[in-house]
Structure 1
Amino acid sequence: MKYDISAHTDNVLHHLYINPLEKCNLKCKICYTEKTAPFLKVKEILDFVRRYNETVEVKVITFCGGEVFALSYFPHLVNALTKQ
């Protein structure tokens, strides 16, 4: 039996998951990720989204990886992304 998955893959391509912390600021006991990576800079995130958006239209961005609202630059990042 064959299934048409194109509608599902299309949605996946237009949805970005961004982990601006790369180093989670939470200390969940069940977490398996390394805690050694540096934080991403606003410019790095904006450049990545801009380059990705040149190929595939970004419709949804989900921020993950800890408490992103605690980042001092998060409001600026969201404002800049909504203008792209």
Structure 2
Amino acid sequence: MLGGISIWQLLIVLGIIILIFGTKKLRNVGTDLGGAIKGFKKAVHEDDKDDEKKDVEPPHAKVSHEEPGNTYDVQAEENRKARNEEPK
């Protein structure tokens, strides 16, 4: 038993649904549902393949950027000037 619903109650509900919608309409709904599930599985499978391809690609080359020592420290210059200009 499924939560207090017997097999006979399920068959009665199924019979009412068939009478309301008809077998042709139910067959179309089943076909559409099956196609949607197949499409979903295919998309998930392709996504897994894309992830595998990304893992196989070689890493990008590392580029080093080195500048000569042409930087200018303004605060150090100001501190040096302040020490030189102090009254003695």
**TM-score normalized with structure 2 length:** 0.24
Relative contact order higher in (CA < 8 Å, ≥ 6 apart): 1
Q: Which has the larger radius of gyration?
A: 2
**Which structure carries more strand by proportion?**
1
**Which structure carries more helix by proportion?**
2
